[in-house]
Amino acid sequence: MRLILVILFLILFFILSIPLFLVEYLIGKFNRRAMVASSQKIVVAAFRIILFLSGVKITAIGIENVPKDEAVLYIANHRSYFDVLVSYVTVPTLTGFMAKKEIKKVPFLRTWMGFLQCLFLDRDDVRQGMKVILKAIEQVKEGYSVFISPEGTRNQGKEMLPFKAGSFKVAEKTGCAIIPVSISNTDEIFENHQPWIRKAHVVIEYGKPVYPKDLDRDQLRSINTHIQEIIRKTLEKNASLI
């Protein structure tokens, strides 16, 4: 039943998106940042409805750790399609997500993602991947946060996959804060019993900012494993909350 309700809502939202695209396009002609902000509000509202229909209860911890007056690099573990929904309804900054290039083929979704400053990564093309990282660096300099899941794919195992080091270039080149994001139990919404959606309690925690300039040489050299260890410990801590 929950799956049917979500599908029906998505159909309605995509129909409503047609005139909204025109409105956002016109706003962007005069003020791009206003377009991004209004698009994010619309998408967050839609995501909240989907999460409600799915029976998802969210416990959000540490939002106060995120600097509100600067762009940051969010680094998160990845277990579910619902990670993006849970993250977007809780992030306090204008944020573009990095997604795999295949999502760009999905009508309506790719248009909203374009308005939201999202980036599309080809995991099999190193040169294109570097271009995307450079684009992410520019976006942070322009004041837009970037959200990356450096495992590279959804992980259904008990242990996280290794974090790809290239993702951290965004912080190294801009000096922006890295916010470790720990997401727990989102796979219980869908992946653990697909194609059905089940109600679930998920926990998302935003860790304290980590600035590259504050790390010593060894920590900076292995920054991917350093941040991953912070997330791992937080996931272990939050397991008792689910």
Q: Name, in order, each residue with C-beta under 8 angstroms of 122's C-beta and a sequence gap of 6 or more.
A: 100, 101, 128, 129, 132
DSSP class of residue 196 equals S
Mean pLDDT, residues 130-145 taken together: 94
Mean pLDDT, residues 52-72 taken together: 97
**Separation CA 16–CA 236 (nearest Å):** 41
Answer whether residue 124 shows pLDDT above 80: no
Q: What is the pLDDT of residue 118?
A: 95
Per the listing, tokens 């976006």 go with 139
Residue 163 is which amino acid? F
Q: What is the pLDDT of residue 1?
A: 86
Q: Residue 171 belongs to what H/E stretch?
A: helix 169-174
Mean pLDDT, residues 208-219 taken together: 92
Average pLDDT of the chain to the nearest whole number: 93
Is the whole model's pTM more than 0.85, yes or no? Answer: yes
CB 165 within 8 A of CB 193: no
- Measured in degrees and rounded to the nearest 5, phi and psi for residue 176 equal -70, 160
- Measured in degrees and rounded to the nearest 5, phi and psi for residue 59 equal -105, 110
* Interval 24-33: pLDDT, tens: 999 999 999 9
Q: What is the pLDDT of residue 111?
A: 94
- Which CATH code is given to the segment(s) 2-241? 3.40.1130
**Separation CA 224–CA 107 (nearest Å):** 34
CA dihedral 95, 72, 80, 101 (to 10 degrees): 60
- The CB-side HSE value for 176 (13 A sphere, CA atoms) comes to 32
Pairing of strands 145-148, 72-76: parallel
- Measured in degrees and rounded to the nearest 5, phi and psi for residue 209 equal -65, 140
* Interval 95-122: pLDDT, tens: 999 998 888 888 889 999 999 999 998 7
Q: What is the pLDDT of residue 159?
A: 81
When mean pLDDT is compared across 15-29, 48-62, 112-126, 172-186, the lowest value belongs to 112-126
- Residue 173 banded pLDDT, cuts 50, 70, 90: very high
Name the nearest CA neighbour of 10 among 138, 135, 106, 79. 106
Mean pLDDT, residues 183-194 taken together: 94
Beta strands in 129-233 (DSSP E): 145-148, 177-184, 200-206
More reliable by pLDDT, 103 or 37? 37
Name the nearest CA neighbour of 118 among 144, 82, 81. 144
